[in-house]
Amino acid sequence: MVEGLGSVEGLGSAEGLGSAEWDVAIIGAGFGGLGLAARLLDAGRERFVVLEAGQDIGGTWRDNTYPGAACDVPSHLYSYSFFPATWPRRFARQPEILGYLRRLADAYGLWPRIRLGAEVVRLDFDEASCTWQVGLASGETLRAKVVVSAVGQLQRPRIPALPGLESFSGPSWHSARWRHDVDLRGLRVGVVGTGASAIQFVPEVAKVAAQTVVFQRSAPYVVPKVDRAYRPAELALVRRVPVLRQLDRARVYLYGESLGLGLVRSRAWLAALTWLWRRWMWSQVLDPALRAACTPDSVMGCKRILFSNDWYRTLRREDVVLVTEAVAEVLPGGVRTTSGREVALDALIFGTGFETTDFLSTIEVSGRRGRRLAEHWAAGPRTHLGLASSGFPNLFFLYGPNTNLGSNSILFMLEGQIAHVLGALATMEAAGLPALEVRPEVEAEFMAWVEAQSRRTAWTSGCRSWYTTAEGRNTHNWPSFTFLYRLQADRFDPLAYRAVLPRVAAPVA
């Protein structure tokens, strides 16, 4: 009988972090990594370590500290069902969300199990022992039976390679690396990009800058954000009657699924949503030229739908200029657009998103028989449920390929993925198996379903977005309803996997 994954005690203590062998190694201390760590403890599994490249926990909510940073999913659903919170407002802001993650780590005693500054750069599957060798940037190597990547999809800022960028005489930065030491008061500030982050920080920048120039490649769909602080009486009532929080969580979920209906299934419903957006935009923007500039040239939902009450209001300000030409070149004192127009600037901020298409590209992964994950995913990630890939036993992904959403809460998806990993651990322990690998035919069947299902969605309607590859393949989003994902992910199906046993080297003649 092979020893089970949860049968050895003692290495979960603070002293245990000096160990080089683990049952589970979790890469990343954001929502996914901390959520899995908490649930491992709930299941009585203590032999795990969380490896975090940064110097603090929190992932994207640690990195994105720009003015106005907040979630666009209501707080009651943007939190784990097993760790509810009483939020101060309907849509939590960055400090509040980071505080939630800290409380989660405190409540479960996770801090001694987290190694900060531990950047994973290499994963090698050892077929003789059916374990993973985990190589760190420091040169240290750990060993783990199971590795779970929880690095997320929005971790590496993308700054376009503009000619002359290094010559700019003023400060410049990406929104995910905000320069809090730069005082923008009285400056001419240029903002490149109109994505989810820019929608939030541009209104804040415009309040202090002498002039804000927004360079827009394509207009986004921006819908109202019904946000407000909760009254003390409401907070007290939620604390006394926890079921109210659960009811609001269910209501928010159903609202998100109704939005998803238009994105993945009903073109008629999407047309109705587009009509509602147009009424909203026209009520906010009266100038015909600005209306034209604020009108997207793609189907609603093809790119990320954004939520803001003050975006259009900000664009109406006299000290805000919306430029619908791309930046062609950066000059020492500003930028030049594609038409040759020069714009003088004192500071330059990039709200240009993240490197999203190259999943796990910062980690060199070698699976069975030396198979490289980068080669297996050369034409785009190939997985089963975004969770596991054939040829890479005991390697799981949280918030992996095809599990992002155009509506609803990622944490709802994460809870299903965490349940799947726990099911895999329990299955291996019960059967005495050292490793499990998703069957190649199961992976192929899932990818064929994703491809066919994606053809019906808004994301493949012809625009270019971070949801799809240059060829138009959907590699990021779940192309159906989230409850259907949970029905598949929550219950670990052993028939979708095959056992992997230690490979004995051939004797030398």
Percentage of the chain with pLDDT > 70? 94
Q: How many CB atoms lie within 10 A of CB 287?
A: 11
For residue 434, pLDDT over 80 is answered with yes
Query: What pLDDT is stored for residue 19 in this prediction?
Result: 62
DSSP H helical ranges for 309-433:
311-315, 373-376, 410-431
Q: How far is CA 340 from CA 64, 293, 328, 330, 348, in A?
A: 33, 19, 8, 12, 18
Query: What pLDDT is stored for residue 67 in this prediction?
Result: 97
Question: What average pLDDT does this structure show over 288-315?
Answer: 95
Q: What is the CATH classification number for the domain harbouring 232?
A: 3.50.50.60
Domain-located, residue 448: no
Q: Are residues 175 and 96 in the same domain?
A: no
DSSP state letter for 336: E
Q: Are residues 386 and 414 in the same domain?
A: yes
Lowest-confidence pick of 43-47, 244-248, 373-377, 466-470: 466-470
Q: Encode pLDDT of 442-454 as tens digits.
A: 999 999 999 999 9
Stated as kind and residue range, the H or E segment containing 36 is helix 31-42
For residue 7, pLDDT over 60 is answered with no
Assign 431 to helix, strand or coil: helix
Domain boundary among 287, 320, 350: 350
pTM of the model as a whole: 0.92
Q: Are residues 190 and 335 in the same domain?
A: yes
Q: Encode pLDDT of 120-130 as tens digits.
A: 999 999 999 99
Domain boundary among 350, 371, 404: 350
Question: What average pLDDT does this structure show over 176-194?
Answer: 97
- What number of CA atoms fall less than 13 Å from residue 230's CA on the CB side? 19
In the sheet with 347-350, reading across from the earlier edge strand, the strands are 172-174, 347-350, 188-192, 211-215, 320-323
Query: What pLDDT is stored for residue 317 in this prediction?
Result: 97
For residue 15, pLDDT over 50 is answered with no
DSSP state letter for 496: G
Bridge partners of 132, per DSSP, are: 125, 144
Q: Are residues 280 and 345 in the same domain?
A: yes
pLDDT band at 5 (very low <50, low <70, confident <90, very high): very low
Q: Encode pLDDT of 260-281 as tens digits.
A: 888 888 889 999 999 999 999 9
Domain-located, residue 2: no
Query: What pLDDT is stored for residue 191 in this prediction?
Result: 98
Bridge partners of 115, per DSSP, are: 51
Q: Within the chain, how many helices (H) and strands (E) appear?
A: 13, 20
Q: Are residues 342 and 362 in the same domain?
A: no
Assign 268 to helix, strand or coil: helix
Assign 222 to helix, strand or coil: strand
Assign 426 to helix, strand or coil: helix
Domain boundary among 291, 326, 350: 350
pLDDT band at 152 (very low <50, low <70, confident <90, very high): confident
Domain-located, residue 446: no
Domain-located, residue 467: no
Q: Which of 360, 351, 11, 347 is nearest to 152 (CA)?
A: 360
Q: Which two tokens stand for residue 290?
A: 């600005």
Q: Taken in order 47, 386, 78, 115, is the CA torsion positive or negative?
A: positive
Query: What pLDDT is stored for residue 357 in this prediction?
Result: 66
For residue 416, pLDDT over 70 is answered with yes
Lowest-confidence pick of 124-128, 325-329, 356-360, 362-366: 356-360
Domain-located, residue 229: yes
Contact 177/157 with Cβ under 8 angstroms? Answer: yes
For residue 2, pLDDT over 50 is answered with no
Residues 46 and 31: their CA atoms lie apart, in Å, by: 19
Q: Are residues 38 and 142 in the same domain?
A: yes
Q: How far is CA 145 from CA 4, 53, 148, 185, 255, in A?
A: 11, 20, 10, 53, 40
Domain-located, residue 135: yes
Domain-located, residue 291: yes
Q: Are residues 333 and 377 in the same domain?
A: no
Contact 256/264 with Cβ under 8 angstroms? Answer: no
For residue 12, pLDDT over 60 is answered with no
CA dihedral 463, 465, 467, 472 (to 10 degrees): 50
Q: Is 443 exposed, middle or buried (0-12, 13-18, 19+ CB in 10 A)?
A: buried
Bridge partners of 48, per DSSP, are: 24
Q: Are residues 272 and 345 in the same domain?
A: yes
Domain-located, residue 505: no
Question: What average pLDDT does this structure show over 71-89?
Answer: 95
Q: Are residues 200 and 340 in the same domain?
A: yes
Query: What pLDDT is stored for residue 3 in this prediction?
Result: 27
Query: What pLDDT is stored for residue 505 in this prediction?
Result: 58
Q: Are residues 377 and 316 in the same domain?
A: no
Contact 465/304 with Cβ under 8 angstroms? Answer: yes
For residue 223, pLDDT over 80 is answered with yes
pLDDT band at 495 (very low <50, low <70, confident <90, very high): very high
Question: What average pLDDT does this structure show over 200-206?
Answer: 98
Which domain covers residue 18, as residue numbers?
14-156+356-441+480-497
Residues 81 and 285: their CA atoms lie apart, in Å, by: 40
For residue 4, pLDDT over 60 is answered with no
pLDDT band at 14 (very low <50, low <70, confident <90, very high): very low
Q: Are residues 278 and 232 in the same domain?
A: yes
Domain count within the chain: 2
Q: How many CB atoms lie within 10 A of CB 355?
A: 16
Pairing mode, strands 188-192 and 120-126: unpaired
pLDDT band at 17 (very low <50, low <70, confident <90, very high): low
Percentage of the chain with pLDDT > 90? 83
Phi/psi for 235 (5° steps) reads -65, -40
Q: Are residues 322 and 210 in the same domain?
A: yes
The mean pLDDT of the chain is 92
